[in-house]
Amino acid sequence: MAQIQTSRFGTLHYNEEDVLFFPQGIPGFHFLEHWLISGEEENPIKWLQSVEDPSVALPITAPHLVLPEYNAVISRDELEDLGNASVEELTILVVLTIPPRKPWDMTANLRAPIVINIINRRGKQILLDGDAYPVRFYCFPEEKRAFFARAEETKAKESPENALCGEEKES
C-alpha cells in the first residue's frame, strides 16, 4: 500500500493497481501521468488526484449526471492510446469547474471528456470534434442558479459575516 499527502484530502492510501496512467498527461497538466480517483462512493463528484503532484486534484463526475442524453462520439483513432478496448471496458468522466463562492454556477466540460480503459487503467482526455457540446455546461438549470444566487444575496444582507462572499455591508 502506498500513500500521498494531498493538500485537499490529507493522506490518501492507495494500491498501485488503483493508479491510472495517462500517457499524454491531461491538457494543462501534460507532465502529470499518474492519477487516482478518490472520493466517497455515494458522492456523485469524485476527484482525479495527481499522484506526482499532491496539490493537483480535478473534480470529476459522470456526464450523464449533468446531461442525461450525453453521447460523446469518439473515433477509434482517439482511443488507440487506451489499448484495444470494447465500449464496455471504457468509462467516461467530465471535469467540473466549481466556483468557490458560487457553487451553484458549477460547469462541466462536456467537449473534452476523460476516457478510461478500466481493464488496463489507461486514460486520456479527448477533445471532441464539432461544437455539439460546450466546454462550460451549467450543471444546474438557470432557475436553480438564480434561486441560490438570490438566497445568498439575502443571506449576505441579513448577516454579512455568514455570507459566502465574506463582504461586509456598506455603512
The one-letter amino acid code at 159 reads S
Whether this model's pTM surpasses 0.85: yes
The one-letter amino acid code at 93 reads L
Q: Report the distance separating Cα 40 and Cα 44, nearest Å.
A: 8
What average pLDDT does range 37-57 have in this prediction?
A: 95
pLDDT band at 19 (very low <50, low <70, confident <90, very high): very high
The sign of the torsion formed by the CA atoms of 97, 132, 124, 27 equals negative
More confident residue, 163 or 159: 159
What average pLDDT does range 143-168 have in this prediction?
A: 76
Q: For strand 137-138 and strand 114-117, is the pairing parallel, antiparallel, or unpaired?
A: unpaired
Cell numbers 501521468 correspond to: 33
Cell of 127: 477533445
Which pLDDT tens digit goes with each residue over 64-119?
Answer: 999 999 999 998 899 988 998 888 999 999 999 999 989 999 999 999 999 999 99
Cell numbers 464496455 correspond to: 88
Contact 35, 8 (CB under 8 A): no
Q: For strand 57-61 and strand 107-108, is the pairing parallel, antiparallel, or unpaired?
A: unpaired
Cell of 91: 468509462
Residue 162 pLDDT: 56
Lowest mean pLDDT among 112-121, 125-134, 158-167: 158-167
β-bridge mates for residue 145, sequence order: none
